Amino acid sequence: MNIKLTFLLLFLTFIGFSQNQENSGSVVYKINASKKKSDQGVKDSNIDFYNRTISRLDELKYHLEFNKEKSLFKIENALVNDTDKSDFFLKSAKLFGGEEIYYTNLKDKKVTIQRTMLGEIFLIEDAIQTDWKLTSETKLIANYKCLKAEMILEKNKIYVNDIKIIAWFTPEIPLPFGPRGYNGLPGLILELNYGDINYYATEIKFENQVQISKPTQGIKITSEEFETYISQKIDEYGFENKSKN
Amino acid sequence: MKKVFSLFAAVLFFTVSLNANTSMMNNQIEDSPGDCFEMAMGVYEAAVFTWNDRARALELGAWVYEDCMESEAGPY
């Protein structure tokens, strides 16, 4: 009886230790996208712009830091935007991959996005997305067995078409975090396909007690208000008004 | 000087893409606000195609427009 109890205690201690070990840490993601070929009805200059932009994606790196309750996802050197003035396609690639900071708090069930837009910093609050559709497909990423989940980001004032989101998450790391504010799955997302762009994990580290702070600088705004703001600014610039000179 | 370089890639890209000729380039020097707008709108359209995202496209289009307008030489 005593031996059984000792084994049970040792087992529970081991489980507790390993869970604690995997409760906080960080993931490095790199990004890529497939080239597009000329297509009827699409301007060659648009295809060229796309291909030149994605050719710079391999220069970018993203970090996800996480603990039991919170996560923070951001590009390396986030919010430093004056150093790359001389490089148009690098700027374009950064916008494609995202320069925002995504903070997730499971307790509040909210994602806070800190992003710069036209020289101003915004804090956009949103609920954690939970509309995932789980599939039976699996694949191995960095020796972790991953399951596939899908979601459709519906067209709105910002997205001109629906965007398909595919997440590959591993229940072996049972934390519901991932890149670009995508959360809510029963395991860490090691690969995220966001439309044409892929975020894939290249390093996973576990550390004790990673401290994560909520971004506080910026104008607080809801996602609906932000959509309206964008539409107003596009009107002001006249980018969708062909007759403007 | 930095501004000129900042727009070089964009201008080169769009002038080549739009098959710009020498007289068009000369006109751009004389009429910079309109041409800054045309170039920024071209960037905006290409960015919407690339990202499917009007907010990011606005950011890049506005960045090109403001940079172009601030440039002493205009968009070449």
Question: What pTM value is reported for the model?
Answer: 0.82
Q: Is residue A13 part of a domain?
A: no
pLDDT of residue B14: 60
A237 to chain B, any CB pair closer than 8 A? The answer is yes
Give the mean pLDDT of A169-195. Answer: 96
User: For residue B67, what pLDDT is reported?
Assistant: 87
Q: Which of A100, A123, A103, A98 is nearest to A213 (CA)?
A: A103
Q: What mean pLDDT do residues A48-62 have? A: 92
Q: Is the pLDDT of residue A111 over 70?
A: yes
Within chain B, which residues score under 50 in pLDDT? 1-5, 16, 18-31, 74-76
Percent of chain A exceeding pLDDT 90 equals 73
The Cα A92–Cα B9 span in angstroms is 11
Cβ <8 Å between B13 and A245: no
pLDDT of the residue at A78: 52
Owning domain of residue A169: 24-237
In a domain, A110, yes or no: yes
The tens digit of pLDDT for each residue in A58-85 reads 999 999 999 999 999 999 965 445 445 5
CA–CA min distance A201, chain B (Å): 22
**B61 contacts A95? CB cut-off 8 A:** no
**A10 inside domain:** no
In a domain, A19, yes or no: no
| Residue A46 in contact with partner chain B when CB distance is under 8 A | yes
Express each pLDDT in A117-170 by its tens digit. Answer: 999 999 999 999 889 999 999 999 999 999 999 999 999 999 999 999 999 999
pLDDT of B4 reads: 45
DSSP A17-71: HHHHHTTSEEEEEEEEE------TTS-HHHHHHHHHHHTTGGG-EEEEEE-SSEE
Give me the residue label for tokens 């101003």.
A120
Residues of B in contact with A86 (CB under 8 A): 2, 5-6
Contacts of B7 in chain A (CB under 8 A): 88
Q: In this predicted structure, which of A31-45, A166-180, A207-221 has the lowest mean pLDDT?
A: A31-45
| Alpha-carbon distance A221 to nearest alpha carbon in chain B (angstroms) | 15
For chain A, what is the domain count?
A: 1
Is the per-residue pLDDT at A15 higher than 80?
Answer: no
Whether A211 shows a pLDDT value over 70: the answer reads yes
Chain mean pLDDT for chain A: 87
Using CA atoms, how far apart are residues A105 and A125, in angstroms rounded to an integer? 11
